[in-house]
Amino acid sequence: MTTPPAAGPPAPLFGAADIRRLAAEVDIRPTKTLGQNFVIDGNTIRRIVAAAHLGPAETVLEVGPGLGSLTLGLLDAAERVVAVEIDPVLAGKLPETIARWRPERAAALDVVLEDALRVTSLPHAPTSLVANLPYNVAVPVVLNLLERFPSLTHGLVMVQDEVADRLAAPPGSRTYGVPSVKAAWYSGMTKAGVIGMNVFWPAPKIASGLVRFTRREPPATTATREQVFAVIDAAFAQRRKTLRAALAGWAGSPVLAEQALRAAGVDPTARGEVLDITAFARIAEARVDAPGAAPTH
Ligand code: SAM
């Protein structure tokens, strides 16, 4: 077992010159398709790590370690880091970078060359997720990891600021939508700050936001997660419509939708954006429990 180093002077983190040099060493040009914006500011890394509330015995799952900016900070704070990276050049370079910058912590890092949307097993069960996520897949990555790895009890992710607002939005707010309700199935999410554009290379065109989450039990229901998520997708596919109309296709007809909504104690003229995750679970359950109900899958 490896242990984090004892308290002393702050360990060095990457600045802009380090990141450019590392990128040049492996001859990579950051790509938009993989959401490659690397953090070039040590204070931002310290802020993310502090906001993650990590305990010293934790195994952190980092998605998209890139050139290792955040990985260094995580290795200073936790017992282990498991880093999942899709880019083979970056995944190949990371162990060498860590061996150079944190030789005493090199054994505490596992690098997994995989797509975080598909990864099904990891070398160690992660207790927290801390990541500067590739922005185009941030929401599905978070939902997929919460589903696949029940050992994840909390985390902090950096995403597009607008997505951070959506993930943390409460029912009834303007930004409340599919990501907010699905995330609420697994966890409570709260916004933990905004990060400007100049701390990245290359600088993105939009601000980033931090979201902290803590896992909780999903609502008690006889419906499956898939059945509940099907109601959420149907309700928000036509978010301007009343639930009676929006759920007509899902239920089989507007009358059946109204029946399920009334059985769930939900006003059929309401819109999906006012319902919390427990109400969606009740609607799914009302359909599952309806006499003669057709299977939903
Ligand atoms: N953590 C680094 C930092 O903060 O400087 C890099 C963050 S960068 C925003 C996103 C990283 O995720 C890139 O290294 C990219 O190659 C990687 N990535 C993109 N899509 C991925 C996926 N589906 N699975 C795993 N990693 C992915």
Cα of 9 from ligand 1 centre, angstroms = 29
The pLDDT tens digits for 64-100 are: 999 999 999 999 999 999 999 999 999 999 999 999 9
State the Rg of the chain over Cα: 21
For the chain, give percent helix, strand, coil, nearest 5: 45, 15, 40
Those residues with Cβ within 8 angstroms of residue 46's Cβ, 6 or more apart along the chain or in another chain: 10, 13, 73
Instruction: Assess contact for 37 and 43: CB atoms under 8 A.
Output: no
pLDDT at 289: 66
Q: Which of 90, 78, 15, 6 is CA-nearest to residue 45?
A: 15
Instruction: Assess contact for 111 and 65: CB atoms under 8 A.
Output: yes
pLDDT at 43: 97
Q: What is the pTM of this model?
A: 0.94
> How do the domains of the chain map onto residue ranges?
16-215, 225-289
265 is in an annotated binding site: no
Nearest CA to ligand 1 atom 6: 66
Q: Which of 61, 170, 121 is CA-nearest to residue 70?
A: 61
* CATH class of the region 225-289: mainly alpha
pLDDT at 11: 85
Pocket flag, ligand 1, residue 23 (CB < 6 Å): no
Q: Which of 92, 47, 100 is CA-nearest to residue 73?
A: 47
Mean pLDDT of the chain: 94
CB atoms within 10 A of CB 140: 13
297 confidence band (pLDDT: 50, 70, 90): very low
What does the alpha-carbon distance between residue 30 and residue 35 come to, in Å, rounded to a whole number?
A: 8
Cα of 237 from ligand 1 centre, angstroms = 29
85 is in an annotated binding site: yes
pLDDT beyond 70 at 53: yes
The pLDDT tens digits for 237-292 are: 988 899 999 999 999 999 999 999 999 999 999 999 999 999 999 999 998 666 65
pLDDT at 10: 72
Nearest CA to ligand 1 atom 23: 115
Q: Which of 166, 175, 102 is CA-nearest to residue 138?
A: 166
Q: Which amino acid would we find at residue 228?
A: V
Average pLDDT of span 54-65: 98
Cα of 251 from ligand 1 centre, angstroms = 39
* CATH class of the region 16-215: alpha beta
- Burial of residue 110 (number of CB atoms within 10 Å: 0-12, 13-18, 19+): middle
pLDDT at 292: 59
Residue 205 has, within 13 A of its CA and on its CB side, a CA count of: 1
Pocket flag, ligand 1, residue 208 (CB < 6 Å): no
Q: Which of 134, 72, 77 is CA-nearest to residue 102?
A: 72
Pocket flag, ligand 1, residue 39 (CB < 6 Å): yes
Residue with tokens 């600088």: 203
pLDDT at 291: 65
Those residues with Cβ within 8 angstroms of residue 22's Cβ, 6 or more apart along the chain or in another chain: 14, 67, 68, 93, 97
165 is in an annotated binding site: no
136 is in an annotated binding site: no
39 is in an annotated binding site: yes
pLDDT at 158: 98
79-88, 108-117, 177-186, 237-246, range with the lowest pLDDT: 237-246
What does the alpha-carbon distance between residue 90 and residue 82 come to, in Å, rounded to a whole number?
A: 14
